[in-house]
């Protein structure tokens, strides 16, 4: 595992530098540390513009081995009607969808997330 510096944040990844530069892995690293990329809204925009290889995105998400990434990715893809295959979650705790926002909102039992953003805003992004 190596640490990479992206916009001042150390990001650990099991991927080599060439792979990391691809759009899909940037999305995954941003899902891991949304506070360093403008929050979940910016990630949702990147997903919605669909300029990534879906299979590689799935592969990267599984390889990073972070349940928070899988939960956020699964939730956003479901909300944006993006078909994606992710491993089954095995966790009990709840995470914030967007750690940059206040810790209040409804809970998603399926994704084990506290949805602390307005879903209408996420669904209407361009």
For 12-33, write each residue's pLDDT tens digit.
444 444 444 566 778 888 898 8
pLDDT for 8 equals: 41
Domain boundaries, the chain: 2-123
Question: What pLDDT score was predicted for residue 51?
Answer: 78
pTM of the complete model: 0.79
Parts of the chain with a pLDDT under 50:
1-20
**What DSSP letter does each residue of 56-113 carry, written as one string?**
HHHHHHHHHT-HHHHHHHHHHHHHTT-----PPP-----EES-TTS-S-S-EETTTTE
As a whole number of angstroms, the longest Cα–Cα distance in the chain is 39
Cα 102 to Cα 96: distance, rounded to the nearest angstrom: 9
How far is residue 1 from each of residues 4, 13, 25, measured CA to CA in Å?
10, 6, 15
pLDDT at 77: 94
């Amino acid at each position: 595992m190596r640490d990479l510096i992206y916009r001042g944040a150390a990001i650990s990844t099991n991927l080599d530098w060439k792979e990391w530069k691809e759009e899909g892995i940037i999305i995954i690293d941003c899902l891991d540390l949304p506070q360093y990329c403008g929050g979940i809204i910016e990630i949702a925009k990147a997903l919605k513009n669909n300029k990534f290889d879906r299979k590689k995105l799935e592969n990267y998400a599984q390889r990073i081995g972070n349940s928070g990434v899988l939960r956020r990715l699964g939730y956003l893809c479901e909300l944006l009607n993006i078909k994606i295959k992710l491993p089954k979650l095995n966790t009990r705790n709840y995470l914030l969808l967007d750690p940059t926002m206040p810790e209040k909102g409804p809970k998603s039992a399926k994704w084990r997330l506290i949805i602390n953003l307005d879903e209408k805003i996420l669904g209407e992004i361009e």
